[in-house]
Structures are given as C-alpha cells and as structure tokens.
Amino acid sequence: MTPKVCLVLLNLGNFNRAWTQILRNLGIDYTLCVTTGGATSASIQTPQGVFSPSSPDLRSYFRQFDAVILCDNSNSLSATSMVNYSVFWLSWNDPEDPAFLFFNPHFSAAITESGYNSNFPSDFSIVRPNPSDIAGTLYAADGGSASSSNPLSATGTGGRGACILFLAENIRAHVQTICNTHTNTIPYYWKLDTAKHSTLADTAYTHRVARNERAGEILAVPAPPTSSEDTETYPSDCVAAYRYRNIFWLPHAMARTQRAVNLWDAEVSPFVFWLLYGLQAAGVRPRYRLPVQIETSRPLEALDASSNPPYSLREQCDFLLASWDWMRDFARRKGTAIVNGVRVGGRDRAAGSRQHWGILYNTSHPAEAREAAMRVHQILVAGHREGTTPCGPHDYTIGSGNGLWGSAVNTGYIRHAGRQRGTPNNVPIARGNFCVAPHVLPTGVADRDAQTVQVGDTELIEWEISTSGAGDTFDLPMGNIHAARMIIEGHIDEMLALGFPDGYCAGHRYTNTASNNSGGECYWQALKEFGFRGVRSSSNCTGISIKRVPPNRIWQGFHLVGDEAVDNCSSGAVFSRGLYLPSAPSGGDAVRHYLLDHGSDISANWATGQVAAWRAYRRLLCQTTSIWLHGTAVELSSAYFHPNQSLMCVSLADATLPFEGWSRLGPYGTPHYNHAVELLENMDAIVRLLPDVLYWGTITDVMDHRERVMG
Amino acid sequence: MSLIGWLKGNRLVDVTAQDPLPVQQQGAITSRTADTLFANTTSVTADANRDLLGSTATELPTLDGCMQYRKLVWFYFRAGADATTYRVLARATDHNGAPLGAGWQEIAPATPLPGEANTWGRIEIPSAGDGYYDQYRIEVRRTGGSGYTLTSKIVGVR
C-alpha cells in the first residue's frame, strides 16, 4: 500500500513548503485541500469536489487516507476562527476513519461560533485555552519568558527549550515544543482535564492508532528534572501531546508562513520533529526512512596561546582524545559513520603548527602532547578503515584561506616537492588561450601540444596553455580543470601520507570542503575523475562569490550536499566558552550564538539561579537538534560541527560525562558541557523514538536517498 | 524500387508506407523542454543590488549553469504594490565555469516591476531573442513604500 495523507490548509499564500518536501522525502503521497475560510461554514475544496466540512461525503473522502493533517495555526488565542471547520472531525472516530493530526490546534475558548462550541466533544480532555484566563487554562513553558517575536515563526535561532518524556516509549528527548502561544509570545503547554481523561483512559476503544486500546492517551509530557538544581517543574496535569480517540493533539510543527523549500536556502523549520512523530503515531508507514548522520570539520587540531584558550595544547588533545574515543564507539554502536574533513595542506604549504599535520609532526611540541594527538589520529585512521570515522581532505591553505577556488589566483601556491611523486613536472595550470570543440576544429590549426579537456558535457581542444615550470612554487590561477586536478591530487597524496588508505572517506567517496567552498564545475569534474561522488557545499560555492551550485545540488551525477552548522558558538569567536559566560565575546557562548536569552531569563539569573544553566542547556540542545533534523528531513543535507571549537567547554576530568549543571564544572567555573556527547545522544533518543521514519545511516545513504527522491 | 530494403519474413522488401523500416521500441519516450529552476520567497527591500536570493554580493549569480536554456520565464506573485524595480544581468563562462570577465552584461536595465498588491506577473528573460547565457543575476529593489513579499518561480526553456 502506498502511504497517503491529506493536508488541509486555508490558502497557499501562508503555506510552508517544508510540509510537502518532507512527505516527498519520505515517499508519502499527499493531497492538498484548500478551505474557503476558517469558520464551520467553510467549504473544503478537494480534487474530487467541494464538500461541507460536516458532510458524510467528506468523511467518506477522508477515509482513503492514512491521516488527515491540519496545517493552519494561530499565534493569538483571541482569534475567533482558524480551523473551526475541523470540529466535526473530532467525532469521526470509527475504525474506518483516518487518524487526524492537529498540530498547534486553535481551540481557544475565545471561539464564539456556536457551530464550533456545540459540536466540540464534551468528553475532550484537554482544557480549552482561554485568553482571559491563561494561567488557569495553560502552563507557561520554558521558564515562562516571552520570545522577542512570534516563536512559531522562529528559524535557525531563538529556539525554545523543552525536554519531553514520551510515556509509551519511556524516552526523554529535547525537542522544540510549543503547544500553543499567544500575542504575548510566551510558549505554552496544555492543561489536562484529569477527570475527563480518567474516563477516556478507562474507555475501551478500537482503532489502529490506539496502541493501548483506550479512548484517551497521554503521549508526552514535560520530563521531570533530573537534578535538584533544575527547578523548572510542571504539574502532573501538564501535557505536551495527547491522543483523543483517533485524533492526535500535537504541538506546533510548521510556521504558517510563505516559505519556499529552495534547495539553496531553505530556512530552518525547527519544529519538524512533531510532524515526523505525528506521522509515525498515526501509523503512516513511509516508503523510505531518512538516514541520520553527522560530520565534523577539522577533527584534530588545537588553538595556540594567541587565541587565549582555557586549556594547554596537551589538555586540548586530551579532551579530543576522550571525545573521539566516545564518538567512534557511538558510531560503532549505532551503525553510523561520522565523516570528518581533515585539514590538509600542512605538509606542502604553510599551515599552523597545531593543525592536523603540524600537531603530529612538529617536534617543538611537548612529547606528551604529540603523543595524545597521535592517539587521536590513530582513532581517526582506524575508524576510517572500519567505517566509523571516514576522513577526507579539507584545505584552508589555498585560495587565500577560502579553499577550492577561494581566490582567482592562488599566489605562491606550493605543490609537492619530490617524495614519492618525484620532481615536479612542468604541467598546465590554466585554461589554454585557444579552446575549440573538436568537431569544429579545422585540421592543422591546433598546436602540437594541444590537450583535450572535458568538463561536464563540454569537450574542447586547448592549446597555448600556461604551465607551471619545474619549480614547486608558482602563482596558480584557480578557475580551471588543470588547477583543480593538481590541488586534489595533492590532497589525496597528503591523506595517504597521513596514513589513511584513501583520500575520500573510503567507500563513501566524499569529503566536506573547507569553508564549504566546492569550487564550481572544474573542481566537480576533477573530483569526479579522482573518484569522488560528492562533497559538502554551500550554495555560493566559491570563496570569491562568482558561482552557485545547481538548483537541485546535483551536477552531472555529482552531489553537492548542503551544509548546516550546529556548533555551540560562532566561528568568529574561535571557541566555545560554554553554555553562557558573561565575559564571553559576541557569539562566544551558545546562548549568544543562537539568541537563546529570552527576556534575559538566562543572563539575568546566571549568577543567582542554578536553573538558568539547565534552561540554556535545554534550549541549545533543542536548537541544534532542530537544525540537524531540518537538514535530515527537509534538505537531505549535512549537519556538522568543529570538535576543538565546540568541545572547549568540557571538564578535563570528565570530558565525556553528561551535563550535570553546576555539579560538574568546566573551564571558567561554568557547567561542563560536551556538545558531541549531548547532541548525538539526543539525536539518538529521537531516532529511537521514530524507528519508522529515521535510522542511523551514512553520507552514502544520504546521497543514495537524494538520487531516489530527487530524480 | 526503393533504394532501401529490409528483411521481412526471410524476404527482402522495399521500404514503403506499408512496410516501414522496423524500429525497436525503447520504452516510453518523454521529452521535456522546460525545467523548473527556481522557487523562492523574497522580502523586497530598498537595498541596492539585492538579488532574488537576498544576496548583495554583486558578482554572485542568482542562477548558474543556464547555457542550455534559450529563455528563462520568471513568474511571480507580489504581495505588495510598493514601487519596485527589477534588473537582469547576464554573462557567459568558459568551459571550466569561470566568467569570461568581471561584471555583467545588463540585459534588462532597472525597470518597474509590473503589478499591484496580490497580483501575478510574468517576465521573459531575455525579453527578445534567445539567451544561452551561463549565469544570470536578477535584482529586485524597492524604490518606495515598505517591504513586502515576492514569491517567484523561474522556468528554463530549452
């Protein structure tokens, strides 16, 4: 059977295309139905005709679907009409009826329409929110502070925190959760009518989605704190997700806004978890599951004293060693592969002594630091061979520090000097001055040294080509296939010299590029020739802003996988000072980087309220997991972080232990926090929650899936 | 007698309307002459040199790899009537993808964007003749009023 759902929406002008993009990626067929308004009198326009929302015809029409999804929501509890027409469907509870997924439903007591109120089920067990009595009908979530703007429309910053306990699965997970909000921009959870719920929970009910065969089921609640420091608790009648017969009452899933899913720049939809959860709960079995994987950039390096890190070289190597040991084990256990972009260029060109090549071989470093660095490196090499930590090249020493085609000319480019490839040959380094397609090239015109060059579909005979000379240093024009081949050959050569068996993440034939610059057609062609299947790339694929990737991010079968950074600080701040540090520079802690300080409820309480750290922890995990999940489900792209940069806030003594608030401190006297451990464990909780939708996979699975659903 | 014959049932027959040369069915043959290249929502601002992707980096194309298309058709829906101009730039690249030089050829100078609030529009690029440029940059600039949303789709026609 082909899974199929029906999306009901008010209009296409406020429709987030991420709804349908996710369904396409999952292989779920869908039908869009547009309503003529939000009142109970609205008509439902289906491809088979226009129906009254209460009509038997519409009910029969809906029965062809696995689930019916309501897409519209409001950020005002005072609204009197939004999805009022759907009230009739709350009573369509026969086994033949589909599951109904109501995300962030508007069922406020402010709705005055009698057709709505008289048809609202009397035994419905969630208290209807009342804008005149918010405190008596809802529970303020996430500390109760207001967001700076409508929290339902948040994208890649400004996330709200929530740790949710999923009762049937007994799994805790950090996922952004807003059941309802109001014009005060405060997120809320729902209040349960315990008496009605008790009755429903004792009422036998048969429907395929009623796992416990009861008419009412609490699906998810705010998780109780795990520490006495965390005073953000909720009453026992506070719920985040509920099943009323075959009706799922779920938190916000998608902003009601015009948001195109453009493969270049899809804005982050941070609440997609709840759509995935709803689909699974409703028994919609996707044709395909989505592979979950993560990457790192620059897995082994350290900061020098000029950056003023809190730890010495040896100490930085130590926390990297502990963290990589943990990550390799995680990848083994979960069957995933953590792809790493190893900084290359250190052998042949000037590079920092604390970067990958230098940290291993620079003899000015203390022996114990080099020994720790070598152990990290050996984990990466062994993990590469076994498939857990495949590595590929990632070069900042070219293109003025911007990587592939990072500048028009790489002044003073240094290529290999001897070694296994011998003395450098005099080779082409630029496009020939004359380039003519072979089928129109008159006989005898081309020089004797002419070369045939093919980039994509275009084949040309080139002659009068600038060459490098026999020296090992020269100015290299970057925008041509000859330069691309020379650069990538050097990358692979250095990866081999580092002890990796290949230079492209083993069988994945992939790497993540420095600055996410993939370099344009000539580099993609050269990468293909060296065996690559794809690379990570920003939409603006050169450092000099002259090129874009193709709209579908596939060029001649070569993948240009999108990038979603999930570090816990900005790159400009160099490294993370932890969840929050008052003296940190702009972007130097997670709260500032992701704008997580709502109403100063972290910054103003940091020194006096221990709960502020737990609040920051929740919000960071929710924010970064949201971005990762968006990349996984909407874009089919890659999330990544920088280990040295993001892990600088761990406790050296307990580098991979969980966050424990103020009970376990890292540098600066602030709470220890290991971003790798926390982020991967949280995503694992989500993968375990959603086995029908997600699985731990690899970048190969991502590229396979892109070909499957983007063809 | 035809100059071309073929073996039909062990007998050489002439090619005629009744006995055409046999061809092997290669499965369903589809031809596609247009591709969706772009679907996006842009906030129209007063920023100079801002393209449909929101970039003000003047060398950055909005669309790349377009040589196969003789024409781009830009459909849009504008949510506001505020005075707005659009400008279209184009250029060619060599086979490596490198622009032949810096800057652009302006193929449509700053022109008022047709339409009122909540209306549709359609613009052909180039307006006359064929394109076959490799890169296009499409800039939109509000010259009065306040910001609004512009939703666009661009189709490449081979």
Domains of chain B in sequence order: 33-157 (2.60.120)
Q: Which of B66, B93, B95, B149 best probes binding to A when mutated, by most A CB atoms within 10 angstroms?
A: B95
Question: Number of helices and strands (H, E) in chain B?
Answer: 0, 9
**B65–A522: do the CB atoms touch at under 8 Å?**
no
Going from the N-terminus, what domains does chain A have, and what CATH number goes with each?
4-281 (3.40.50), 290-409+489-710 (3.20.20), 411-478 (no CATH)
Lowest mean pLDDT among A67-71, A109-113, A329-333, A443-447: A443-447
Q: What percent of chain B shows pLDDT beyond 70? A: 91
The pLDDT value recorded for residue B14 is 80
Which of B60, B63, B149 is closest, CB to CB, to A258? B149
Q: In A, what residues contact B, Cβ < 8 A?
A: 13, 17, 258-262, 264-265, 431, 435, 453, 455-456, 458, 460, 479-481, 520-522, 539-540, 544-551, 555
Question: Strand, coil or helix: what is A486?
Answer: helix
Q: Are A267 and A256 in contact (CB under 8 A)?
A: no
Tokens 């009698």 belong to A114
Look up the pTM and report it.
0.92
Cis peptide before B126 (omega within 30 of 0): yes
**B61–A544: do the CB atoms touch at under 8 Å?**
no
The pLDDT value recorded for residue B158 is 92
When mean pLDDT is compared over A1-15, A127-141, A433-447, B142-156, the highest value belongs to: A127-141
Q: Return all residues near B61 (Cβ < 8 A) that are at least 6 apart.
A: A546, A547, A548, B135, B136, B137
Q: Is the pLDDT of residue A334 over 60?
A: yes
What average pLDDT is seen over chain B? Answer: 89
For chain B positions 110-149, those within 8 Å of chain A (CB to CB) are 135, 149
B98 touches chain A (CB under 8 A): yes
Average pLDDT over residues B7-16: 76
Tens-place pLDDT, residues A646-656 = 999 999 999 99
Query: What count of CB pairs under 8 Å joins A to B?
Result: 80
| Shortest Cα–Cα distance, A635 to chain B (Å) | 14
CA-nearest of A282, A280, A276 to A207 is: A282
Residues of chain B positioned with their CB less than 8 A from the CB of A458 = 95
Q: Which of A548, A553, A556, A710 best probes binding to B when mutated, by most B CB atoms within 10 angstroms?
A: A548
| Shortest Cα–Cα distance, B21 to chain A (Å) | 30
B155 touches chain A (CB under 8 A): no
B7 touches chain A (CB under 8 A): no
**Predicted ipTM?**
0.79
**A479–B59: do the CB atoms touch at under 8 Å?**
no
Q: Are A388 and A471 in contact (CB under 8 A)?
A: no
The pLDDT value recorded for residue A76 is 97
The pLDDT value recorded for residue B78 is 95
B41 touches chain A (CB under 8 A): yes
Nearest residue in chain A measured CA to CA from B152:
A260
Q: Which helix (H) or strand (E) holds B37?
A: strand B34-44
Taking the C-alpha atoms of residue A107 and residue A73, their distance in angstroms, rounded to an integer, is 10
Per 3-state DSSP, what percentage of chain B is helix, strand, and coil (rounded to 5)? Answer: 0, 45, 55
Question: Number of helices and strands (H, E) in chain A?
Answer: 16, 31
Tens-place pLDDT, residues A193-226 = 999 999 999 999 999 999 999 999 999 999 999 9
**B96–A481: do the CB atoms touch at under 8 Å?**
yes
Q: Which amino acid would we find at residue A19?
A: W
Tens-place pLDDT, residues A113-127 = 999 999 999 999 999
Q: Are A701 and A291 in contact (CB under 8 A)?
A: yes
Question: Strand, coil or helix: what is A26?
Answer: helix
